[in-house]
Each structure stands twice: as structure tokens, then as C-alpha cells.
Homo-oligomer: A and B are copies of this chain.
Amino acid sequence: MSDTRPLILISNDDGITAPGILATVEVMKTFGKVVVVAPDSPQSAMGHAITINKPLRLVQNHQFGPDVESYHCSGTPADCVKLAIDKVLHRKPDLLVSGINHGSNSSINVIYSGTMSAAMEGAISGVTSVGFSLLDFSWDADFLASKVYMQKIIASVLKNGLSEGVLLSVNIPNVPESELQGVKICRQARAKWVEEFDHRTDPHGRDYYWLTGKFQNMDKGEDTDEWALAHNYVSVVPVHFDLTAHHALQNLNTWDI
């Protein structure tokens, strides 16, 4: 008897042992056959890095019990997805879910996000892909409300489908479910991090720097993910990987180069 349920690939950037990916496995098991391929160590802020200069390790584990096929990989989130499709599943899955990330992937954070790079790698390969993030960096974050909204959003995605080349980035405010106001479809807010590196001296007298920064939202729009999250909505941003600034083409074509 062949398994006719959807084949669902799960990955993340916090690593295979993160509570956030366990929450995803628990929800996604109700939708179909789940296979996990996730980094063997935290890979936050890895952006869309891939590993070309060293070999990758891929090891089967039993992290999620006997009924979930699961692997950890020495690479980045994007590596995990590539390796999963080529060497674990031997085909494209029907759905890819990345996360639940411990921390925000709203606005400009999508650029730096390992969680979203796994989802984007899926979308590039033509897989329906969604990344989830809870706005709580702590390891013991409470994923209860996130799981409820993952259930709702994935049900909608499976019912409606996504256009080719479009994936979803879902961010969930860190409040109890009773305070959540529902789901808002949003655009990415125009925001940035302003760096303030912490300059220190090591015991050998040499300088080193820790990256720190302040998040600056310059965008007053009420259709942004930042607005939605500040007002306790779950934000859903459709994301694509055509980085062309199409609106700039016409003007550039007037240049005399």
C-alpha cells in the first residue's frame, strides 16, 4: 500500500534539537508524511549561504521518535534542502516548512534569515514553501499559539496553493493565543539595523568586535509586517526570489553608458 498523503520536508536554522522544529513536526504530522533534514548546529543569520568548499555530512537520527524519518546535516539550511531533495527524498516534496524559528524574520530580517533561506531554496526548486518565526529568541519559547496558526495557514496553503516562485514568510507575535488578532497579509516593511559594534580587547591584547545593533523601522505603512506584529496580528508576507528592481529598469535605460 503506497502512502498517498503529502510528502512534507521540514528544516530550520536553529538546528535539529531546537524546540521550534519539534513544534513544526507535531503540527505537520497531521497533514502528511514528514521527513526532517536540519542543521546539526545553530545556523542563525546564515542568509542564503551554501557550502561549496567543504564536503557535507548527513546522518540519520531518531530525534522525533520511530515514526518520523529524520537527519542532521553539517551544512547550512539551504544545503539541507538541496541535500534532502537530491539524496534523501529523491524527488521534490509536496510541501516544505521551515522553522518555527526562535526570533523574528520580519522586514529586512528575511535577507539574513537561515529559516527563510531554507524556504526560499524550496521555492527555487518549485516546492510550495512556508517559513515560520515566533518573535521570541529564547530556547524555551512557548509555541502553543504558533502551532494553532501553523495549522490554519498550512491548511489554507494546501487548499489554495501558491503561485510559482512565491513562498510565504509567517511571523507570530510573542503573546498568548487569546491576544492574537488574526492573520494579516503584509508587505515587508522598509527597515534596517544600525550597527553598534562592541569593541573589546582579548587577554592577549588584541582587538575584537561583537556585532550588535538597533532595529530601525522607517516605514509608517499600515500594510507592513512591522505594523501587523506591533498590533498582535500574525503577519504573512509573500516572498519571491526575483531581486530585479523592475521599477528601475526604465530609468537605467536612459543612461548613456
A58 at the interface (CB under 8 A from B): yes
Which of chain B's residues have a CB closer than 8 A to the CB of A146?
Answer: none
Residues of B within 8 A of A124 (CB): 108, 111, 192
In the bound complex, residues from chain B placing their C-beta under 8 Å from that of A56 are: 197, 208-211
> How large, as a class, is the contact surface on chain A?
35 or more
Chain B residues in 8 Å Cβ range of A111: 48, 120, 124, 241, 243
CB proximity of A37 to chain B, nearest CB, Å: 12
Asked whether, in the complex, the Cβ of B165 is within 8 Å of the Cβ of A190, the reply is yes
When the two chains form the complex, which single residue of B160, B211, B239, B246 contacts A187, counting CB atoms closer than 8 Å?
A: B246
Contacts of A242 in B (CB 8 A): 187-188, 190
A22 within 8 A of B: no
- Interface pair A48/B51, CB less than 8 Å apart: no
The yes or no answer to A87 lying at the interface (CB within 8 A) is: yes
Q: In the complex, identify which listed stretch (A25-33, A38-46, A94-102) lies at the interface while the others stay far away.
A: A38-46
Would you give 26 A-B contacts (Cβ < 8 Å), ordered by A? Answer: A44-B53, A45-B50, A45-B51, A47-B47, A47-B117, A49-B112, A50-B211, A55-B208, A56-B209, A56-B210, A57-B206, A57-B208, A79-B211, A82-B211, A110-B243, A111-B124, A111-B243, A160-B255, A163-B247, A163-B251, A182-B257, A185-B252, A185-B253, A188-B243, A236-B252, A237-B244
